[in-house]
Chain A
Amino acid sequence: MADLPKPEELVQIDHSPSLHKGLLGWMDTPVRIREGIALYAGKPQSLEYVGMPNPREWNPLDEDWKLPENWKEIILDGLRERLDRFRSLKVFMDICVRCGACADKCHFFIGGGDPKNMPVLRAELLRSVYRKEYTTAGKIMGKIAGARELTYDVLKEWWYYFFQCTECRRCSLFCPYGIDTAEVTIIGRELLNLIGLNVDWVAAPVANCYRTGNHLGIQPHAYKDMIDFFCEDLEEVTGIRPNPSMNRKGAEILFITPSGDVFADPGTYTAMGYIILFHYLESLGLDITWSTYASEGGNFGFFTSHEMAKRLNAKMYAEAERLGVKWILGGECGHMWRVIHQYMDTFNGPADHLEVPVSPITGTRFENAASTKMVHITEFTADLIKNNKLKLDKSRNDNLVVTYHDSCNPARGMGLLEEPRYVIKNVCNHFYEMPENTIREQTFCCGSGAGLNAGEDMELRMRGGMPRANAVRHVHEKHGVNMLACVCAIDRAALPPLMEYWVPEVDVTGVHEMVGNALILDGEQKRTTDLRGEPLPGMEEEEDV
């Protein structure tokens, strides 16, 4: 693994491609695959488990990527097929005018300066081959028409740069034609997967999720153990031991959340927040179950191919049907919600075995989820708060000066902007927004989405997260912000090291962790610590040693 440069080394960035590079032209600038940026290759056993092509040991830093002999034919046939299947791709291949509005909108370009990370150029990597193969002008005039042959080097360039895109869609917001690099990357990766070009950080979670129901490969008994463990911790904090049910038939609602939340801090505290909330609502009529089979909200299949996304997503409706629930509640996660909101019903619906979601506590009918029948937990909780169903003590979060990071997918692939803010403002007293160019629909990615959350590409991640960290530092210095809230499990895994690197004074939390802290349970003991076991404001002396 490459050593991570220090922050002061990392910020030496030139965003103007040098004249030398300009004279060579990007098409003739060869790709140089760098450690610290590139990810490890997908392992053969991961690919075999789900029946993906060309499983083998290979290393992106090697010359030979051990491709099938007819790799070019496979890719070009695959491209043709996808042009016929996706109007998005076909239109996006034709209409870019290279106005460059997207260029400095990408967090990887801002934090890295590599010209091929300008979204326009990342798309041109594919577009140039499209022109060569499928347009008359490109066939005849070649480079003059912006066309080039698909060579081994071009293929490597695709792999390198399609795995330097987090599919965050920030560029598509600024594009006058709505050209969506996520769409280009998604389909680009789908093509690469046809010949076994993948990354371990995507392939392994996919295989795990297929087998055990979640990315981390947590088996059912272990999953239950972890939930039990949270309940023990909660008993310590609140004096009350919740008893969440697992795989229970006949429950009204199935709860699905990313497995990251049951696995690693600080996501675990968010999971504890859910458990506390559900326990609180039990006496008000909430009848909810977790599942060990549908134990993953996220979908790394989405970073592999549309087909794999569909295969992994199928568990949600299947489990809902098996358990006989009425609707599904979904936890805090980013790309999970892009898939649920924009794809799930199309992939695996119609979910006629479910009913239009109705909150059993408030009676609110979620018309916006009438067909997909799945509700986001911040929609659910915001509705509870609005209807005065939660007893909250905001002051328990008074140690926190909070800002909110909109996750890319809920922001730009759904529009979930106010719901989490409403919840946050009702559970904590000190909330400050980051600058407007960096939040809501213009939010900056954590730099680690779309399967790039590995260890070996830490330099890439610290670069990609730089714009987000920069905005956090701004509110840290201006308002003393010390807590970065988010509604995404990848964020909860990716932002702590990012903060550690750029703004070490700021910690990361899920929204429902703060809900769990503020929620006043009936018959609870006097709380002296928060869910992390750290003393509540004013309770510093009372803490047991």
Chain B
Amino acid sequence: MNFVVSIVFSGAVVTLLVLIPWVGVGAFDLRVLFGIVIPYAAVITFFAGLVAKVIGWGRSPVPFRIPTTAGQQWSLPWIKANRVDNPKGNGGVVLRMIFEVLLFRSLFRNTRMEFRNGPRITYEFEKWLWLFGLLFHYAFLVIIIRHLRFFTEPIPFFVKLLENLDGFMQIGIAPLTGYQLPGLFLSGMVLLAAVGFLFLRRLLSAQIRHISLPGDYFPLFLIGAIGFTGILMRYLLKVDIVAVKELTMGLVSFHPTIPGGVGVLFYIHLFLVSVLFFYFPFSKLVHLGGVFLSPTRNLANNSRAVRHVNPWSYPVKTHTYDEYEEEFRDKMVEAGLPVEKAPEPEEEASEEETGEKE
């Protein structure tokens, strides 16, 4: 699978995914299918799939305590231990996980290796992946929370608050002729910019291009398409927002309805989101759950202080001291090493011969 095939394939699939509801709703009027059946199925698949995945991981035990220690251990009282990067107890682990999940601490360590023949190897500033990765995830989170306005009545205060924060840039936007542009949400733009960065990085860095699979390009394209259709709906090809809310409230209250006046663009957007939900549990996107279960991050580094138990531990065959002494007794006695059992003089000659077993 080379990168050209990967990109073309992923692009083609996303294009197809746009065409399906376009034709389905536009030509065949399958609004119930695309507006009710598929979204429900997608959400069920998402939750069931993700729960199954997490339970699957959880079913495998953690036989050994293997945190990656990223700072000074707790040992002597006068040596300052790093409680977050090398946690001694659960409090430190919680902090470490918070830093990891909310701030991508490990990725923040990232550097870029510069290699010049000589060799002169240096490690340069490279926080872009961290920055755009963080922007991508937070923009996504803001967008998801903003979308709660379509699923709640009345709309909770924090959604409105977030909308205001997200839309604080609106004053800077000049209205286009003929359109009354609503306030610009930063999050949508940031999301698309981050998707663009992540894609270009994959494409332009020879190393990353080499390791990338279709499963890396596809979600980027899909999320890009979701963002793009959303932005189109909000700013340019406006949809009947009241009708859309009627539909989404119907879904969330389990009284699904298909109001009139909702354009095909909305169905495309909804279908792409549904696909993302379907795809999620079967893809690398499960890192959402997996990051919490990573044994190199979520365990305290206290295995010398507190015994960690391996549930499937089984007895193994060892070479006992008695077996060892049996083989080397005469040599040990001769060298003046203490032994458990005094050698029997008459067997000495024969032992000597078999002593050099190999």
Q: Which residues of A approach B to under 8 Å, CB–CB?
A: 11-13, 15-18, 21-28, 45, 51, 83-92, 94-101, 103-105, 110, 115, 118, 120-121, 124, 135-137, 143-146, 169, 172-180, 183, 210-213, 219-221, 224-225, 246-249, 292-293, 306-307, 310-311, 314-315, 318-319, 322, 340-343, 345-347, 349-350, 364, 366-372, 374, 379, 382-383, 386, 411-419, 422, 435, 437-438, 441-442, 466-467, 470
Contacts and interface: CB of A to CB of B under 8 A. Distances in A.
A180 B296 contact: yes
Report, as a range, how many residues of chain B touch the other chain: 35 or more
Contacts of A225: 335
Given A87-B57, A115-B207, A210 B296 contact: no
B110 A101 contact: yes
B305 A370 contact: yes
B207 A15 contact: yes
Interface in B45-73: 53, 56-66, 68-73
B321 A293 contact: yes
18 contacts: A11-B119, A90-B60, A98-B284, A110-B115, A110-B121, A135-B282, A172-B296, A173-B109, A177-B290, A248-B338, A311-B319, A315-B318, A322-B321, A368-B305, A372-B303, A374-B304, A415-B81, A441-B85
Given A318-B321, A322-B321, A86 B60 contact: yes
Interface stretch (B27-35, B175-183, B323-331): B323-331
A22 B206 contact: yes
Nearest 9 pairs of A and B residues by beta carbon: A415-B73, A95-B290, A16-B206, A221-B335, A178-B296, A415-B69, A104-B113, A178-B297, A95-B287
B316 A314 contact: yes
Contacts of A11: 117-119
Contacts of B207: 15-17, 100, 103-104, 115, 118
B2 to A, nearest CB: 4
A417 B82 CA distance: 11
A99 B133 contact: yes
Given A95-B284, A441-B71, 6 more contacts: A84-B59, A87-B61, A110-B115, A180-B296, A346-B309, A379-B76
A91 B288 CA distance: 11
Contacts of A15: 113, 115, 206-207
A467 B206 CA distance: 21
Given A110-B115, A292-B337, A88 B296 contact: yes
Contact of B113 (A90, A110, A180, A293): A110
Most chain B beta carbons < 10 A, residue from A100, A314, A350, A367: A100
A419 B109 contact: no
B137 to A, nearest CB: 10
B62 A88 contact: yes
Interface in B291-316: 291, 293-297, 301-310, 312-313, 316
Contacts of A415: 69-74, 81-82, 86, 301
Interface in B196-213: 205-213
Most chain A beta carbons < 10 A, residue from B75, B111, B208, B286: B75
B338 A121 contact: no
Nearest to B76: A383
A412 B68 contact: yes
A301 to B, nearest CB: 10
Contacts of B310: 346-347
A311 B294 contact: no
A138 to B, nearest CB: 10
Given A143-B1, A293-B321, A180 B68 contact: yes
A440 to B, nearest CB: 8
Interface in B1-40: 1-5, 9
B57 A174 contact: no
A224 B303 contact: no
Given A177-B291, A292-B337, A364-B76, A413 B66 contact: yes
Given A221-B334, A343-B64, A177 B294 contact: yes
A199 to B, nearest CB: 20
Contact of A418 (B79, B133, B304): B79
Contacts of B301: 414-415
A90 to B, nearest CB: 5
Contact of B110 (A22, A174, A180, A369): A174
Contact of B308 (A17, A84, A345): A345
B317 A369 contact: no
Contacts of B260: none
Given A178-B294, A293-B321, A220 B335 contact: yes
B210 A17 contact: yes
Contacts of B302: 368
A386 B76 contact: yes
Contacts of A247: 332, 337-338
Nearest to B87: A415
Nearest to B73: A415
Contact of B68 (A173, A343, A367, A435): A173
Contact of B70 (A92, A173, A371): A173
Contact of B107 (A90, A99, A118, A340): A99
A379 B305 CA distance: 15
Nearest to B315: A310
A84 B57 CA distance: 9
B100 interface: yes
B91 interface: no
Interface in B112-131: 112-113, 115, 117-121, 123, 129
Contact of B317 (A311, A341, A466): A311
B76 A345 contact: no
A219 B331 contact: yes
B338 A346 contact: no
Given A248-B338, A466-B119, A21 B210 contact: yes
B358 interface: yes
A341 B304 contact: yes
Contacts of A416: 73, 75
B214 interface: yes
A411 B69 contact: yes
